[in-house]
Homo-oligomer: A and B are copies of this chain.
Amino acid sequence: MVAKRGSPGDVRLLVRIAQLYYRMHLSQAQIGEQLGLSRFAVGRLLDRALDESIVRIEVVHPAARLVDLEDRLVERFGLAAALVADVPAAASSEAADDLARDAVAELAADFLAQRRPTGVIGVSWGRTMLAVARRLPQGWTSAAAVVQLNGAASRSNQPTRVGEILERFASTSGASFHGIAAPAIVGSAALRDALVNDPAIRETIDLARSATSAVFGLGIPAADSPHLASGFVDEAEQARLRSMGAAGDVIGRFLDDNGVIVWPELDARTVGLSLADLAQKPLRMGIAAGAGRGPIALAAIRAGILSVIACDESTAEWVLVHG
């Protein structure tokens, strides 16, 4: 049915073989028999059909995009894993943020349940962490202790719900839990030092330092950020923080686009584990859900704080485009 190499008829043979193999599911040997070729020739021609793209094999499911983004994040930034959530479109940006948070939290909780980290697990707080905590299945792991990574008590009227987060992480895994009874950011470095030297708080931070896993949200410096709204950072300071180029915060510590502490004096007033200590942990999962999280996600990656990122599709794309 065919003749000269390189002639049009040649392509016909490739097409015919490809059809027999991929559509009719004949074996290469059968095809060879039928067409008077050795099975080796058929195999080689099949290879050729593949790289002359006469045959196309593609993963067509919409989720393939996401898996692709994950692969690229892992590859580009040397992460241990990346989780990119499929975020359904939503009308208002607030509703979209809620959906994104839920989707990302679902992925993060699934990941944790599959990984089953043991020993001491450090957690931050925030809406995203709450969403994760609420999705942890009973018995998701058998950790020894769950410990808060940074301060949370707030003078504002926004409850941080850090208690529920810790309680859920602990009760679903059978671990004990340990909160930090202090604000995220206080009024002076001296006060911070005093708090951190308080035996109870110091003990908890030491425990956080010993944690081998950490799970934390990546925040942005919006006016409603619980960290800024704690009451110890006044409006002028908030404005200054933003004007200095703060991309967002990781466990209460604000970074610029390159992952450098943006305002060391403010950082000196922040209660909790240091980023250097955080970056030592084998498993450190940062979660970024919602619009505008690209910069802080990239900053955290650049600072080497993340080994695993969980985020939504648009954040992943932002990071890949700008990183």
Q: Which residues of A contact B (CB under 8 A)?
A: 1-3, 8-9, 11-12, 14-16, 18-19, 22-23, 49, 53-61, 63-64, 66-68, 71, 81, 83, 86, 106-107, 110-111, 113-114
Identical chains in the assembly: 2
What 10 A-B pairs are tightest by C-beta distance, nearest first? A54-B61, A3-B110, A18-B59, A15-B63, A15-B67, A56-B60, A57-B57, A22-B57, A15-B64, A16-B67
A19 to B9, CA, bound (A): 33
Contact between B19 and A59 (Cβ–Cβ < 8 Å)? yes
Besides the contacts A11-B63, A18-B59, A19-B59, what 5 more A-B pairs have beta carbons closer than 8 Å? A2-B114, A8-B86, A54-B59, A54-B64, A56-B58
A23 to B8, CA, bound (A): 28
> Could you write out 17 A-B pairs with CB less than 8 Å apart?
A1-B81, A1-B110, A2-B114, A3-B114, A9-B107, A9-B110, A11-B61, A14-B61, A15-B61, A15-B64, A16-B67, A18-B59, A19-B64, A19-B67, A22-B59, A55-B60, A57-B57
Q: For A55, what are the chain B residues with a Cβ–Cβ distance below 8 Å?
A: 57-60
Q: For A15, what are the chain B residues with a Cβ–Cβ distance below 8 Å?
A: 59, 61, 63-64, 66-67
Contact between B111 and A67 (Cβ–Cβ < 8 Å)? no
A19 to B53, CA, bound (A): 17
A3 to B136, CA, bound (A): 12
Q: For A61, what are the chain B residues with a Cβ–Cβ distance below 8 Å?
A: 11, 14-15, 54
Give, as a whole number of angstroms, the nearest-CB distance from A49 to chain B: 8
A49 to B3, CA, bound (A): 37
